[in-house]
Amino acid sequence: MGLFQISTTVRVLLLTSQELRAFTWQDSVLIPTGKFAADEQGQDDFKRYLSSPPDSPLYLVADVIEEDFRLENVAHVLGKDRSALLERKLAQFFRTTEYRSARVQGREESGRRDDQVLFSALTNNEQIAFWVKLILAQKVPLQGILSVPWLMELFAGFQHLDQIPHLLLLNLELQSGLRQTYIQDGRLKFSRVTSLVTARAGSLAETIVSECSHTRQYLERLKLLPRDQPLDIHISVQGEIEEEIGEGLENSALFRFHFHETEIVAAEFGIDPVLENGQGVVFLALMQALRTKGLFNIYGSGSVTRYYRLRQIRRGLIVGTSLFFAVALVIGFSLLADGFKQRGEQKRLEQEAKQLEQQYHALQQNLPENPLPAKAMQNVVESVEKIQRQAVSPMEMMGLVSRALAVCPDIRLQKLDWKLAVVTSGSEAGAEGTAGAGQPVVSEEVAVPALLLAMLGGKTRVVTTFDGIVYPGGGYLNAHQSVIRFITALEQIPGLKVTPLVMPTETSPGSSMKATLDGAAIPAGFTLLLAYPGKP
């Protein structure tokens, strides 16, 4: 079998009280593959059978008398509580066997609305365990264990008999006997097998009527069948048996008989009607189940089906790994294709860049020779831009002086001389010392290259000479105080430095006094030097 091949082969073991029969379901055909007795020779033959093929799933179908059914109402609970409750009930009813099952079939329509549960078990534990141990010893994936009554439930659905409220299916098997399976509204409730070893050929119909009467009494006692309710009995037999028992089975108020020939049923199912002698309806139900819904597990516990679960896990890992590698390959090819595409795009861009570079060199060769290197040209352009950013005008200084004049109404402007000066360290120190030492060097006294360097270095300052008078004077002392107030107002402007050059009242050794003329007030003049930084 290939690694990714999905097998459609299913092996089926049919267990009866006499022997174990093996079949292989392949290509919609049920093929007999062996018979095994419960002895040493049968064990050896069965082991050899299990070894080939080792990985195809296996079902065990029990067609035995030793099967018990019990209907009980249990409290309606969910989840783990339900599982624990059903497990306790199973241990209470079927303590001696591990092949047991509990299936919830509905709820009561009134009262507490308890769950209606069918408890069933294969009570001959040793007979089942004998073959199961051999299967597990070979680590064969046993998918499930079920019995013929559950196949009959499927068979009723296949024949569209599951809508009958009270249905009793009868099938005659040469090896097992007469099986009666009671189905209520499509759900299995009860099944039993009666041996026909002692029944005479002529009394087969009488035996069927007698056994059906016993079954009806049992169902009435369990309150599954009302006493006045007719029981629909559907019998599936081969044509010659129908002719034998048909005349002895008459409809009554309690029984209504319906016959189904296995050959006709097989044709309706689309199954080859050529069956082995004695196979009957069990094999019809088995093949139809394999063709449609598939078989299922009823009595196999987790320990019994562990190798099948391991097989499924292994197959899941194989499929998952295969999908992972497939996705990885798709992504890898996609990334590889993108890589090739990007590589091609990169080569195209490199080619375009190379062409542009060649065009640049060609244009550069056609241009006249530049007398200055590129670095020198860059420095020149940057210097010009920096000088332009430091351009100043007297308008800013005039605005500052106007604000100070607004608070000193007795100060009148006579003359405003605006110049650009180079500030040296000596002039900066002199600003804080004497007036004569603090005067900066004006631009007229500095060569143009030095002035440009000072502008580039940010060492220029706007210097303004302010000539004014105090009017009315009111005396030189009052005029002197007015000028002091004006100087104080100017110094409130950030960055503006004021140096008095001429004051109304001179206190220096070389100063001279002036008198009034005929008592008239003579305007007091003064001169101030204003130094203000240029633009950065």
pLDDT at 401 over 50: yes
pTM for the model: 0.61
Rounded to an integer, the average pLDDT of 241-257 is 85
The closest alpha carbon to 188, from 103, 265, 94, belongs to 103
Rounded to an integer, the average pLDDT of 349-353 is 91
Coil, strand or helix at 362: helix
DSSP state of 296: -
The closest alpha carbon to 168, from 100, 230, 250, belongs to 230
Residue-by-residue DSSP string for 219-245: HHHTTSS-TT--EEEEEEE-HHHHHHH
Is the pLDDT higher at 41 or at 280? 41
pLDDT value of position 516: 54
Q: For residues 149 and 188, is the Cβ–Cβ distance under 8 A?
A: yes
pLDDT value of position 463: 84
pLDDT value of position 261: 86
Of 11-20, 37-46, 193-202, 372-381, the one with minimum mean pLDDT is: 193-202
Please report, as a single letter, which amino acid is at residue 295.
L
Helix (H), strand (E) at residue 524 = strand 524-533
Please report, as a single letter, which amino acid is at residue 155.
F
Coil, strand or helix at 194: strand
Tens of pLDDT, residue by residue over 68-91, are 999 999 999 998 999 999 999 999
Cα distance between residue 286 and residue 421, in whole Å: 117
| C-alpha separations of 274 from 212, 235, 279, 283 in Å | 30, 19, 10, 11
Rounded to an integer, the average pLDDT of 211-239 is 91
Tokens of 212: 């059906």
Of 56-70, 110-124, 157-171, 447-461, the one with minimum mean pLDDT is: 447-461
Tens of pLDDT, residue by residue over 493-520, are 888 889 998 888 765 555 545 545 555 5
Cα distance between residue 422 and residue 452, in whole Å: 10
pLDDT value of position 300: 93
pLDDT value of position 408: 87
Verify cis geometry, omega within 30 degrees of 0, for the bond prior to 371.
no
pLDDT value of position 507: 59
Rounded to an integer, the average pLDDT of 341-357 is 90
pLDDT at 125 over 50: yes
The closest alpha carbon to 299, from 113, 77, 69, 469, belongs to 69
Confidence bin at 394 (pLDDT 50/70/90): confident
Tens of pLDDT, residue by residue over 164-210, are 999 999 988 766 688 999 999 999 999 999 887 666 555 888 888 99
Outline where DSSP puts E strands in 368-515. 411-422, 441-442, 460-470, 497-502
Cα distance between residue 263 and residue 260, in whole Å: 9
Phi first, then psi, for residue 397 (nearest 5°) are -65, -40
The closest alpha carbon to 504, from 529, 470, 534, belongs to 470
